[in-house]
Amino acid sequence: MRRCLALLIALLAFVPAAHAVTATPLATVADDTPIAAYGGWVAWSEKGPDGLYRIVTFHDGVKETLSHIAPRTVPFDLDLGPGAVERPVITFSRCVVERDVNQLEAPLGAARSCRLRQVALPGGGEAGIPVPARGSASDATPSRWGYRVAFQRRARGADVSQVMLYDLQHERLKALPHGAVPHTCPYRTGCANARYRGEVDELDAAAREVAFSWRLAAPAVIGAGGAAWEMRAVTTATGRSVLAGSGYVSGACGGRRVLSPQAVPGGVLFLSRQFFCENVVGTVTSALFSTGGLLARTTDVGGGVAWRVLHDAADGASYVVLGPSTRSTQTPLPADALTLARVDGLRLAETGKRASEPFDTGR
């Protein structure tokens, strides 16, 4: 309880002028992929010389590739959390048909026959997560907390994923509210042939909350490219949902993505990464139910630019992935461009603002 209260106070505290945020570099991160932390472990996936992605962990100063876990042609949709006996568990999915490796920005819904998997740390082998399947539907982006597993389920042929929560102990499955799929039409000629899509990009579960980034595509989406993003937190008991952030693709050369959802007591901590042409800004952001979704933010992460943010719910530690302040969209990142760092003294300041919807409601 004390740790939870301390976290809430830290998320909403204003930064004193003399306050120092320090970042301690820990390891290089070769690729900008989903990354998670729990129980002193950090896990992500990196692309090897053979073009395949393998799970990598960092613990007690040691970075290790889990070579006994089969690789994937695409980055792992992994998360870290406690298993039934508090042992850290990496969760992810495997698909019979993966997304096109040359189109990593393609929706996860392009994959087929995906099932949930897990690996206990340290040294555990890969095993299935006994979530009841439903026909040809695909399950992905899992996150485990004790006996509960949150994930997204996509029925074959469907355009919208469902956010699901399964209780392994009581064998109960229920749906949680997903993100927005706006059906407003901004065109005078109508939207008769339009498709409306929505799915989870990343997901994180905690004791009472599930946080996720939601990718949506609809005619009413603001910006170019036909895609936008929401960051949402949902209470598992009541289904109450709060919009914490949004993203878009600019018609010029900019845009914003919301990444690294971290379910924290009463809300969500995440990263808002903005692009101004080739310039990059990473804003660590939080929103809590108790404040009605008011945002708290900072760009101060002890030096450098934050590309991802992590919160270890077991010990309260904060981590960031530091990256370059400029990024060419035409060339891949150098292998040593990203660094995992532990952050001490991270403070977020209230903005008095709420997140705005990334689409035109017609109001």
pLDDT tens digits for range 203-217: 999 999 999 999 999
What is the per-residue pLDDT across 163-174, written as a single tens digit (0 to 9) for each?
999 999 999 999
What is the per-residue pLDDT across 251-283, written as a single tens digit (0 to 9) for each?
778 889 999 999 999 999 999 999 988 899 999
Is 254 inside any structural domain? yes
Q: What is the separation, in whole angstroms, between the first and last Cα of the chain?
A: 42
Domain boundaries, position 326:
2-183+195-350
Sign of CA dihedral 50, 51, 53, 56: positive
The CATH number given to whatever domain includes residue 44 is 2.120.10.30
Is 363 inside any structural domain? no
Is 361 inside any structural domain? no
Alpha-carbon span 100 to 105, nearest angstrom: 9
Alpha-carbon span 16 to 210, nearest angstrom: 31
What is the per-residue pLDDT across 51-95, written as a single tens digit (0 to 9) for each?
999 999 999 999 999 999 999 999 999 999 999 888 999 999 999
Is 340 inside any structural domain? yes
Contact by Cβ (8 Å): 164, 173:
yes
Average pLDDT over residues 32-39: 97
Q: Decide if pLDDT at 104 tops 90.
A: no
Is 206 inside any structural domain? yes
The alpha-helical segments, DSSP class H, found in the chain are 2-12
The average confidence (pLDDT) of the chain is: 90
Q: Decide if pLDDT at 8 tops 80.
A: no
Q: Which residues contact 261 (CB under 8 A, 6 or more apart)?
A: 202, 203, 204, 211, 212, 213, 231, 233, 268, 270
Mapping DSSP to helix (H, G, I), strand (E, B) and coil, where does residue 52 land? Answer: coil
- Split into its structural domains, the chain has a count of 1
Single-letter amino acid, residue 146: G
State the DSSP H helix or E strand holding residue 350, giving kind and residue range, or none if neither. strand 349-350
Q: Which residue has the tokens 């809430």?
A: 8
Q: Which residues contact 352 (CB under 8 A, 6 or more apart)?
A: 294
Q: Decide if pLDDT at 190 tops 50.
A: yes
Is 189 inside any structural domain? no
Is 188 inside any structural domain? no
